[in-house]
């Protein structure tokens, strides 16, 4: 797989994180909250946008931002009790994991032996 394809897949996965913030994430006092209404959701949206910007700028550290999003999302999803209410949260966590995998894959695929330019 070419580097451009790996980076594009990671970008799309980061965009899925942003879009899934409009899906239900949590229930508070019988009220369903979307990701944009939860503090962690707002943080993850900002981090996903930063991840997309870092990929566009060519920064190899984009995997770090995507990994932060994945860690926050998996922690939130695993701490919850109900599965159905957190379908948006699960979608975000899976998308963040896909972004991390493709960004780390791209980072290691670009490693060349010294002197080979």
Q: Give the predicted TM-score (pTM) of the model.
A: 0.86
For the stretch 92-115, pLDDT in tens is 999 999 999 999 999 888 877 887
**51 pLDDT higher than 60:** yes
For the stretch 58-92, pLDDT in tens is 888 899 999 999 999 898 888 866 555 578 888 99
Q: Would you report the helix, strand and coil content of the chain in percent, each value rounded to 5?
A: 75, 10, 20
Q: Which residue in 8, 14, 7, 10 sits closest to 92, CA to CA?
A: 14
Q: Quick one: 84 exposed, middle or buried, by C-beta within 10 A (0-12, 13-18, 19+)?
A: exposed
> Contact 83/93 with Cβ under 8 angstroms?
no
């Amino acid at each position: 797989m070419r580097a451009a394809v790996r980076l594009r897949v990671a970008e799309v996965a980061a965009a899925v994180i942003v879009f899934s913030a409009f899906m239900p994430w949590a229930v508070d006092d019988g009220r369903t909250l979307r990701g944009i209404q939860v503090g962690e959701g707002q943080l993850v949206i900002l981090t996903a946008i930063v991840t997309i910007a870092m990929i566009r700028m060519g920064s190899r550290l984009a995997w770090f931002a995507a990994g932060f999003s994945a860690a926050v999302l998996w922690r939130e999803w695993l701490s919850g009790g109900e599965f159905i209410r957190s379908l948006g949260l699960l979608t975000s966590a899976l998308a963040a994991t896909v972004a991390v995998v493709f960004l780390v894959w791209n980072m290691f695929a670009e490693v060349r032996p010294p002197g080979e330019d």
